[in-house]
Amino acid sequence: MNKEAIIRDFDGAFSALENAMRLFNNDDFNEIPFEESWTAAQVVQHIILSIENFPGTLSGKTEETTRAIDQFIPTLKDIFLNFQTKMKSPDFIKPVLKSYDLDEQLAKVSNIVADIRQAIEKQDLSKTCLDFQFPSLGFITGLESIYFIIFHTQRHT
């Protein structure tokens, strides 16, 4: 496992997100672009909700993996980078419709990203994480968790 490549992929996804966020002013960030759509701020909040617990998951309870540690990466890529598929967010990561402060959201993303990046550097990503079951896949490895975060962020950037 090449942690430098993983960090490069991770940093690339979040650099793109932060660059996209900086294209907005606070008003535009909270504007609904069309009916039944989320605001850019809600999309960012959705990403925050989907990743904020991963630093704990990656450093939490784990066990040795008894399958290829990257087995579900192609599946995760197919799920999240297939832009022909419309997805519905699970309620626990569905953002509330309200006004979000752009600078606060940038700071939240930056803090969570720093924590996840530290986990990438320090944790054994080959282990299966037992504190979270991914819907339809079950328990996934730390490596697969990082690529879920990358692909999910790329989908929304």
Residue 148: both structure tokens together: 């879920």
The Cα–Cα gap between 156 and 122 comes to 27
Token pair 């940093």 in the structure block, residue: 11
Q: Per-residue b/e over 47-85, b at no fewer than 16 CB within 10 Å?
A: bbbbbbebbebbbeebeebeeebbebbeebeebbeeeee
What is the model's pLDDT at position 133? 94
pTM: 0.95
- Summarised one tens digit per residue, pLDDT across range 56-103 is 999 999 999 999 999 999 999 999 999 998 888 989 999 999 999 999
Predicted confidence (pLDDT) at residue 107 exceeds the cutoff of 90: yes
Confidence of residue 36 (pLDDT cuts 50, 70, 90): confident
In the chain, the domains with their CATH numbers are: 3-155 (1.20.120.450)
Chain-wide mean pLDDT for the chain? 96
Phi, psi torsion values for 68, nearest 5 degrees: -60, 130
Best CA proximity match to 80, nearest among 153, 6, 152, 156: 152
Q: What are phi and psi of 119, to 5 degrees?
A: -65, -40
